[in-house]
Structure 1
Amino acid sequence: MTAALAWDGPLDWPITSGVIPILVLALGWLALVGLAVSSSTHWWSRRFPCAVLLTAALTVLVRAVVNDWWQPWPDGLTREVVFWVGIGILGLLLALFRLPPLRWRGRFAVLGAALLVLLMSGSEINRQYDQYPTLRVLLAPWIQHTPTFSAGRATSTLSAPAGRTLAEVWHSPAGLPAKGTITTTAIPGHKSGFDPRDAYIYLPPAYQATAPRPLLPVLVLMAGQPGGPADWVNSGGLAGTMDSFAAAHQGLAPIVVVVDPTGSDWANTLCMDSKIAKAQTYLAQDVPDWVHAHLQTGTGRGAFAIGGLSLGGTCSLQMAVNAPQVYGSFLDISGQDEPTLGSHDKTVQAAFGGNEAAFDAVDPLHVMARQKFPDTAAAFVVGKSDGEYGPQQRKVYQAAVAAGMRATFTEVPGGHDWNTFRAGLSGQLTWLSQQLGLIG
């Protein structure tokens, strides 16, 4: 930890592990105690109890609104997150109740203490998900510039003959870059009518070779909800993961196309063609069409994989069973056992007007119960401490095996968080590349 602080810039210091979150936690608790303690009898008899009771009521209300009524995301707020939301509310209310009799210096001190409590609350919530491991990741939307996609076509290409992998026939040319590139671009929904956010494209070092250019396989990748394509680039450390793999394989790695299956943080298309959106058509037709038109890649289902985390993991399973002609393998990280808007009845009503048969026609468990997929490879990954999605992942894995898929099930340290998601991708990258014919 000392070395990290000594050699990295402040933007790269870890804020979910090590010294910094412990310091923030200590200062936050001290600030909260400072806001809570007073020598005034009136404070203890009226204002403090009022702040505590109001905090309890607001915290319960927040949980009920998010988890039970509104349900903006498939994943509800955990008990730990609700607790830290309550601590933040308590800090604010204690500060508000202390402000009226104070002069301006005292008010600045109280507001500073409240900010420390809020910082502690936010820090601890971030530690639950590990979505922002450093300040650089947190500030990426404002400080990081991603260039627009632009890639020319090579006049000669290299593909692997039958029975051999691309790595067996590829020879890295002199001067090949050590790192790949990440760019952003629109992938419009010409056939689906879907309006997604911009995608991110990772091109490995080998793609930059032009004499010849290897026809690399493609991994279509999706984030969860709330979230978007940028999450895999920033929180997921996509470039570092892929570059590390490429460095060990003469610059070879799958091309990664990080797409948006929801349209916004607040939307949930269920990755289906339904009353909500034609998300399946977008992922099964529009995205592959764009790849074929703008990139030189391997062709056929054997050269295309799809993967994702949480909602994106569920979505990858859906595409694998509903569009098996497009995707021959998939990676489901911490996905659900069925697409959901929070409850089964709510989902079926919103997507299909209550038509259970229409839902069952595309629901992965129902599809796998009536159809076999012997030519599909599946990898399921979940955090060891994920009590909610762990059982769901195992259920879906067992259904995949029963449906004839070549399936694997892996548990990694962590819960439903970015530690698990990052490990899920990096740990399965070799497996994915084998399924895609890139390496043996």
Structure 2
Amino acid sequence: MHGALVDLAHVRIDGWAPLMLTIAAVVAIVSWIVCRRRRVVGVVAVAMTIAACVAQLNANVLGYPTAAAALGHPPATLPAAEKVIEADIPGVVSGFRARPASIYLPPAYSVDTHAPLPVLVLLTGQPGHVVDWLQGGHLARTMDTYAAAHDGLAPVVVVADGLGDTEANPMCMDSDLGNAFTYLSVDVPAWAKSHLQVSEDPHSWAIGGYSYGGTCALQAAVLAPTVYPTFLDISGEDEPRRGTRAESVTAAFGDDSEASEKRFDAVAPLEVMAKREFPSTAGAFLAGSEDGEFRPQVLRAYDRAVASGMDAHYRELPGGHSMDVWAPALEVEVDWLSSRMGLTD
């Protein structure tokens, strides 16, 4: 009996179903009138009319493919493994020339459901390539493990190129080095929303990364909080950097004048958090316990985030500044990320 009910819950209720239920309701009402309003026929007519109304509402407004999907349950059968694809995400607005992105699609993605999935944008360190998250970072394994424990559901993960080249360092800002910030905050979300079956609700979006990518995630979160209200900063710096501060300012804006330094401060995350409050933003800060250079910077960023009103937490993992910390960092935070993005309660 239970199996039959489960199968019934996964029968398609879109397509021809609304029309057929409407016809059945009309037939039931006519039968009730012809049969001189007999009680049994009347009950059937009421039930069919309600079913037809619900089906029409679903077809024209809600869009759920099955009753199970409407109740928040995944399809009865799901693919056993993930799918990772490669895609060119052009810098339509930014003009930034990025390398192809790698995109993780969870098992539930390939099933015909109406419910869009949340999106996690991940960034690598510098030097780096998007495949670093897939190879040393074990991204697919981490997300598959999560999906296996959640009926095949997991965020869609877009590993975007925030560098432009392996050795490049545009400091994740809009500057003479390229418009990396606009690329990540405008072009990547726009492309994903138009090419993938993902949520357009900003609350379902997060950004994260390690080292350079962690710094970049923090920058994106404070400069575009309505795009990325949730972020993951793993072993990031306390501000964008190419050598000394003067060298960084000069690389970005042509000189280290006071005007250029002001432009730099306007996008430096600690400076931004000192002047603004972020009550709707949440962030996870992680560092290796033996990372003598980056751990203090992560702590400074975390303290400033808390002072700015963010819902922030800090965690240390065994190790230094390496993938031995960065890969486990995603593993331990994926539950929190998914909850923040509305995938789980």
1:390–1:206 Cα change, 3 Å: same
Q: Which runs of 4+ in 1 moved over 3 A?
A: 156-159
Aligned to 2:164: 263
Deviation at 1:168, TM superposition (A): 10
Letter in 1 for 2:296: P
Deviation at 1:303, TM superposition (A): 0.8
1:243–1:342 Cα change, 3 Å: same
Aligned to 1:209: 111
Distance 1:416 1:255 in 2: 27
Moved more, 348-357 or 359-368: 348-357
Q: 117, 126, 134: which is aligned to 1:233? A: 134
Distance 2:64 2:277 in 1: 33
Aligned to 1:372: 277
Deviation at 1:171, TM superposition (A): 1.4
**1:231-258 C-alpha deviation (Å, 9 max, x unpaired):** 0011111110000000000011010000
1:214–1:300 Cα change, 3 Å: closer
Find the residue that maps to 1:194 and give its secondary structure: coil
Find the residue that maps to 1:202 and give its secondary structure: strand
2:287 matches 1:385: no
Whether contact under 8 Å (1:300, 1:326) holds in the other structure is: no
Whether contact under 8 Å (2:102, 2:131) holds in the other structure is: yes
Letter in 1 for 2:128: G
2:77 matches 1:175: yes
TM-score by length of 2: 0.78
Whether contact under 8 Å (2:64, 2:70) holds in the other structure is: no
Letter in 2 for 1:387: G
Q: 224, 248, 251: which is aligned to 2:149? A: 248
Deviation at 1:190, TM superposition (A): 0.8
Distance 2:63 2:159 in 1: 24
Find the residue that maps to 2:287 and give its secondary structure: strand
Aligned to 1:436: 341
Distance 1:168 1:331 in 2: 31
Distance 1:352 1:395 in 2: 25
Structure 2: give runs of 5+ residues left out of the alignment: 1-61
Q: CA-atom RMSD, angstroms?
A: 1.7
Distance 2:138 2:64 in 1: 29
1:158–1:260 Cα change, 3 Å: farther
Identical amino acids, percent of aligned pairs:
51
Deviation at 1:213, TM superposition (A): 3.7
Find the residue that maps to 1:408 and give its secondary structure: strand
Whether contact under 8 Å (1:217, 1:298) holds in the other structure is: yes
**1:328-371 C-alpha deviation (Å, 9 max, x unpaired):** 10000000011000211100011023211000111100000000
Aligned to 2:196: 295
1:194–1:172 Cα change, 3 Å: same
Find the residue that maps to 2:303 and give its secondary structure: helix
Which runs of structure 2 are paired with 1:90-239 in the superposition (5 Å)? 169-210=71-112, 212-239=113-140
Aligned to 1:308: 209
Deviation at 1:215, TM superposition (A): 1.0
Letter in 1 for 2:189: P
**Count of residue pairs the alignment pairs up:** 278
Deviation at 1:158, TM superposition (A): 5.5
Whether contact under 8 Å (2:125, 2:213) holds in the other structure is: yes
Distance 1:311 1:423 in 2: 17
Distance 2:342 2:71 in 1: 12
1:431–1:169 Cα change, 3 Å: farther
Distance 1:412 1:373 in 2: 26
Aligned to 1:152: none
Aligned to 2:244: 343
Whether contact under 8 Å (1:207, 1:214) holds in the other structure is: no
Deviation at 1:270, TM superposition (A): 0.4
**1:49-100 C-alpha deviation (Å, 9 max, x unpaired):** xxxxxxxxxxxxxxxxxxxxxxxxxxxxxxxxxxxxxxxxxxxxxxxxxxxx
Find the residue that maps to 1:438 and give its secondary structure: coil
TM-score by length of 1: 0.62
Letter in 2 for 1:277: G
Find the residue that maps to 2:200 and give its secondary structure: coil
Structure 1: give runs of 5+ residues left out of the alignment: 1-155, 160-166
Whether contact under 8 Å (1:206, 1:213) holds in the other structure is: no
Letter in 2 for 1:196: A
Deviation at 1:179, TM superposition (A): 1.3
